[in-house]
A and B are shown apart, each in its own frame.
Chain A
Amino acid sequence: MESGKPVGNTNPRLEFTKAMFRKYYSKANVQPPGKLINREFGVITERGGMWRHLGFGTPDELQNFLKKQAPIHAYHSSAYYTKPNARTMDEKTWLGADLIFDLDADHIQGSENMTIEMMFEKVKVQFKKLVHSYLLDDFGFDENDVKIVFSGGRGYHAHVSNEKVLRLNSHERREIVDYITKPSTNIDTLVRKVIFSNERFKDHDNKKYIYRLYPRDTPGWRGKVTASVLDFIDRTEKMPKENVIDELESHRGIGDTLALKIYNSMYLGKPGDRGIDKMRSDLNLEPFGEDSVRNSFINHIVKEMTVDLGGETDEPVTSDIKRLIRLPGSVHGKTGLVVRTMTVEELNGFLPLRDSVWPGFEKSTVKLMGLEDYEVKLKNTVFKVKKDTETEVPEYAALFLLGQKKCDIRI
């Protein structure tokens, strides 16, 4: 088997996957994306390669296509076109595009050392921040305009289809990404600069300023700065000094001298009279003394409020106005999990490995051979795989373990 060409019917792994996907698409009712006739679709079947430029006139056409082809991966365009099935962009004629946000575990720091459950939890925290703090609060979208989707793979997508965003070009979308990922570095826009005294001295003004945080509920970045400082204080107050210093130094750009200065301005003195007490009680930033210490601290701590959309390393999905995105209601070929749409409320209690399993994959079992030692909890059941040992699991677990290349099918 190993030396044969891994094509078509000769590969039992692909054959099994194909059978499962056929079963799914023969039963499942895939809710088409809005403005179906203007969307381009693309699929990857077991034969490999992306099959693009597909267009469907009715939900039934889409459903029948999926039933017939049973693709392993299915996508639709975030964009709307006059002729979505035309082969060139010019002929397609771009009409607009949803605003898409893609949060993937790849963007989470240290995700390579996490279990899949921990990783999903971390992504969810970040994604909820994106939805609540940015999409709903700052950008003011209505909950009905924001479609939340579990990608079936390693993260979540948000599709914003508010009329006002559809015509935004790539550059304008990039500004939205920058808003979320890169707070201003100009301290005067982040904190309040108040004239403290204005003594005239020999014909020129001698102004003195004091700096204060804006109230926590101030809109936009100003409130976020305050939240990040107060959260830092809450988090570090009970910590030993070394840990606080360590945490400060974990920010690139804060060295040991600066970390110590920040620590001292916040924690020296008796309780009630320390820097943090003044910051808490009247949002005063004067305890920092030197401007440079205050500014460095603010500029670093505020980064905790950003959401990493992967913009530094690869092109962010958000600024791409012609991207194909996972079709909600399809099954992800590498996990066997359903790409699921949910409300903001449902997101709170959502666990991908428990809630995105299709019940139709629960009834029968399959025999697999372990390729490495591995353990995963799916649908409230823990599955343990041992290398070179046979195991029998339900179909949903088989799809997941095969997709993740932890097992193979032996005949």
Chain B
Amino acid sequence: MNLRTLARYPLLPETSAYLKGIGISLDSLVNHAAYEQVRHAGRRRVMEALVDGHINEYSMVSEADLLVELLSYVVARIIVSCTADEHLIQRYALAEAITTQKRLESEKLDFVIEMAVLMGMDAVAINATETSIHFTDYLRHSSDMRSEEWKLNNQELDRGRVPVSKDRLARLLQHAIKDSIEAELPLPVNDDIIAAFKNSIDLVIEEVARRKARFEEESYGRVSFLRLPPCMKKLLDMMKKGQNVPHVGRFALTSFLHIIGMTNDDIVTVFSSSPDFKEQLARYQIDHITGKTSGVEYLPPECSTMRTHGVCFDPDSLCKKKWLNHPLTYYRVKGKKPRNKSKAGEKAVNKESGQENSTSSGGQ
């Protein structure tokens, strides 16, 4: 594969062999003055991923331009690894994946298939314009596509294979690439590397913090029971009446209430109206689910999982919207409608301030 191809698709496995071949060491990349431009390009790559959600394409005229572009990918991965921030890794991986998908649009089918195979997919050409992939690869990489046209039952499944167009294959590749980068990062980095990239890391971390603050501000606001999706209302109601709530239901409700901002004490209070309430046990489970004791902050299950486990109750018109696939989305969307009517009946559990919900600005 030539340098131009690698510069456009630096995540190809050939990249590392190429770099070894021309003899660029990690140490020189990190420290040598000659690579200042590369380090700058690497930082730019991370910032573009973070801010714009994709990597821009710059004119690549000379061989040197191509090499800078290729190496900017290597440096970007180092910087991201130095922060070891989950949010940044995800955002960066997605941006690289989206960029690759976009660039693949102008490639020939054979090239896209080759890339799919390199990413571990079982893909073969059927004819000049179509390819087929094994249904397990299709399922794995279409799992975040929720529109009907991607569902397996809308595909012409034949002997385990799903025919897909070039553009669809590129879309599936986006998911595969994102998964693969997320799995690879963070790379191991030592203190010297972290010291060398200090300025870049600070800049990136600052931007990450700014984005997180904005996201939190826009997301959940004050805890409001009026905004609960029907499933959570029902689970809450069942808890209060002392009905037998299956484990997965308790788990869903606890993680949900935690994420929307209830304290563990408040959640214990909610559960305490249940006749079979045992405080110690409840507290133990709640502390585990909310990450206090387990270190893992569990998210409530998405709608399809709720349905699978039979704890999706009385879905309303909002639930049935195509794009609504998570109980938290329901809660967030409900919070975005300006609520000018009387607040009677609204129970604000979190009494930390009298501040109004500031979520009506921004977002869709």
Contacts and interface: CB of A to CB of B under 8 A. Distances in A.
The answer to whether A and B come from one shared complex is yes
Interface of A: 137-141, 164-165, 168-172, 174-176, 178-179, 182-184, 186, 189, 218-222, 314-316, 319
B156 A222 contact: yes
A131 to B, nearest CB: 14
B219 to A, nearest CB: 24
B152 A176 contact: yes
A315 B309 contact: yes
Interface string B136-156: 100110010000110111111
B270 interface: no
13 contacts: A137-B159, A138-B157, A164-B122, A164-B134, A174-B304, A176-B139, A184-B148, A184-B153, A219-B159, A220-B156, A221-B153, A221-B156, A315-B308
Interface residues of B, number: 25
B314 to A, nearest CB: 16
Contact of A171 (B157, B158, B305): B305
Contacts of A220: 155-158
B309 to A, nearest CB: 6
B135 interface: yes
A170 B155 contact: no
B230 to A, nearest CB: 18
Contacts of A222: 156
- Smallest CB-CB A-B distances: 9 pairs: A140-B160, A219-B158, A140-B159, A172-B139, A220-B156, A164-B136, A220-B157, A179-B153, A179-B152
B342 to A, nearest CB: 41
Contacts of B308: 170-171, 174, 315-316, 319
Contacts of B139: 168, 172, 175-176
A138 B160 CA distance: 6
Q: Which of B151, B154, B310 has the most CB of A within 10 A?
A: B154
Nearest to B302: A171
Interface of B: 122, 134-136, 139-140, 143, 148-149, 151-161, 304-305, 308-310
A77 to B, nearest CB: 18
Contacts of B151: 175, 178, 184
A140 B158 contact: yes
Main DSSP-derived SS at the A contact region: helix
A137 B156 CA distance: 12
Contacts of B157: 138-139, 179, 219-221
Contact of A138 (B154, B158, B310): B158
Nearest to B248: A315
Contacts of A219: 156-159
A222 B155 CA distance: 10
Nearest to A134: B157
Contacts of B135: 139-140
Contacts of B161: 140
Nearest to B134: A164
B115 to A, nearest CB: 20
Contacts of A315: 308-310
Contacts of A316: 308
Nearest to A141: B160
A182 B143 contact: no
A172 B143 contact: yes
B143 A171 contact: yes
A156 to B, nearest CB: 22
Given A179-B153, A222-B156, A172 B140 contact: yes
A288 B140 CA distance: 39
A169 B142 CA distance: 13
Given A165-B136, A178-B152, A184-B154, A171 B159 contact: no
B153 A171 contact: no
A132 B215 CA distance: 50
B148 A186 contact: yes
Contacts of B160: 138-141
A164 B134 CA distance: 9
A189 B154 contact: yes
B127 to A, nearest CB: 16
Q: Which of B122, B139, B305 has the most CB of A within 10 A?
A: B139
Contacts of A138: 157-160
Contacts of A175: 139, 151-153
Contacts of B154: 184, 186, 189
Contact of B153 (A140, A141, A170, A183): A183
A189 B149 CA distance: 9
B251 to A, nearest CB: 12
B176 to A, nearest CB: 14
B151 to A, nearest CB: 7
Nearest to A139: B160
A141 to B, nearest CB: 7
Contacts of B153: 175, 178-179, 182-184, 221
Contacts of B158: 138, 140, 219-220
B253 to A, nearest CB: 18
B138 to A, nearest CB: 9
Given A140-B158, A184-B153, A220-B155, A168 B140 contact: yes
A219 B126 CA distance: 15
